[in-house]
Amino acid sequence: MAGTGLKDATAIVGIGQTAFAKHLPEDEKTLACRAVLAALDDAGIAPGEVDAVASYTMEETDEVELAKAVGFGDLTYFGKVGFGGGGSCATVAHLATAIAAGQATVGVAWRSRKRGSGPRPWTGATGQLPTPAQWTRPFGLLRPVDETAMLARRYMHEYGATRDHLFNVALACRNRANQNPAAVMYDRPLTREMYMTSRWISEPLCLFDNCLETDGASACVVVGRERARDCRRRPVYVHAAAQGLPAQHHGMVNYWNDDPLTGPSWTTARQLWKHADLTPDDVDVAQIYDGFSILVPLSLEGYGFCGRGEGGAFTEQGALETGGRLPLNTGGGGLSEGYVHGFNLITEGVRQLRGTSTAQVPGAATCLVTAGESVPTSALLLRS
């Protein structure tokens, strides 16, 4: 996927999103259609020109329904990516690969969710539990946050990371959301006292360590390099892309390997940097998956921004804020803008490289976007 033939061969030329809110009246299909149409309009491309689509396996709106509703032409590529938050960047990577290989010319990727007003998938009856859940749920690891909290506790124990380090992540995301009128938390500042006195969700992760539960949809349009030059907006090139599923990985979180804190981001990062002309030192801004705050320091280590065990300390002294060492999640991320399985991190990365973000990093020319750490994951390296 991330070979040299993909390097800068395609570009994201359109982005679109609906509002993000605790409750939206539209169903997921309608939200998907609105986001996709907005992205196509942003690119100046007619729906009938779309011949490739990519989405998540968890996406309720399938290719057939979207194609009919929006008015796509003949589709010559369609694919889906598993593992929820781990799949966001891979949807774009699959389109880029198909277009670079000549299988399609105009691709659309999207994610639509009704998580704020819809059901929680882990709350219903499950019947026979799949492996490895049969070994963990009977002992209290019922939700994604419970599984991730185990990683957080291990990380804090081994490397001396503290709740202040997690607060640094949550605060950076909230500060950027406070600059973004589209963010759910736009008008709700966060203080250290609020963070430290908030209720536990799964100790040591508190309320503000968890992503939002929102309704909403995001989408983007991918085309080849030549076509990109004629589109309405400034193209943002897919410089490199990668997916990562480590050997012997188990489900959402792997507690059974020798080192649970070396997750899928490490596998993805090796592939990503192998096929890039850039290094972590060249990244101007990052959109790092923040379903839970602890995933950010783990990802910082996995993608090579700091050494093993140094992710917590990396967050100190405003490193993640605008003007810091690595400005992070500049739209507010999943913690404070909205949560659509990380797809809004892609659209914000595009805005940064276009120069149109509400928290613009001056001169930003390279952006790393990552999907969910701890699950089989993916990443994009974008450049202007």
Q: Report the 10 Å Cβ neighbour count for 312.
A: 26
* Two tokens, residue 296: 């950010």
**In the annotation, is 237 catalytic?**
no
Is residue 295 within 8 A of residue 370, CB to CB? The reply is no
For residues 177 and 164, give the distance between their C-alpha atoms in angstroms, rounded to a whole number.
20
Structural contact between residues 21 and 339, judged by C-beta atoms closer than 8 angstroms = no
**Can you tell me whether residue 197 is helix, strand or coil?**
helix
Q: Tell me which residue of 377, 384, 59, 75 sits closest to 217, measured CA to CA.
A: 59
- In 3-state terms the chain splits into helix, strand, coil percentages (rounded to 5) of 35, 20, 45
Token pair recorded at residue 130: 């799949």
Q: DSSP 3-state assignment of 49? A: helix
Burial class, 280, CB count within 10 angstroms (exposed 0-12 / middle 13-18 / buried 19+): middle
Q: Where are the beta strands (DSSP E) in the chain?
A: 10-17, 52-56, 77-81, 106-114, 200-202, 205-206, 215-224, 236-244, 285-287, 366-370, 377-383
Exactly one of 155, 159, 186, 339 is catalytic; name it. 339
CA nearest to 31, candidates 117, 96, 120, 93 = 117
Q: Cα–chain-centroid distance for residue 73? A: 28
- What is the largest distance, in Å, between two alpha-carbon atoms of the chain? 57
CA distance 194 to 206: 11
For residue 289, indicate whether it is catalytic.
Answer: yes
SS3 217: strand
Q: Single out the catalytic residue among 77, 159, 186, 289.
A: 289
What token pair was written down for 135?
A: 């070994």
**238 φ/ψ angles, rounded to the nearest 5 degrees:** -85, 95
The total number of residues written for the chain in this structure: 384
Q: How many angstroms separate the CA atoms of 109 and 40, rounded?
A: 11
Q: Cite the active site residues.
A: 289, 339
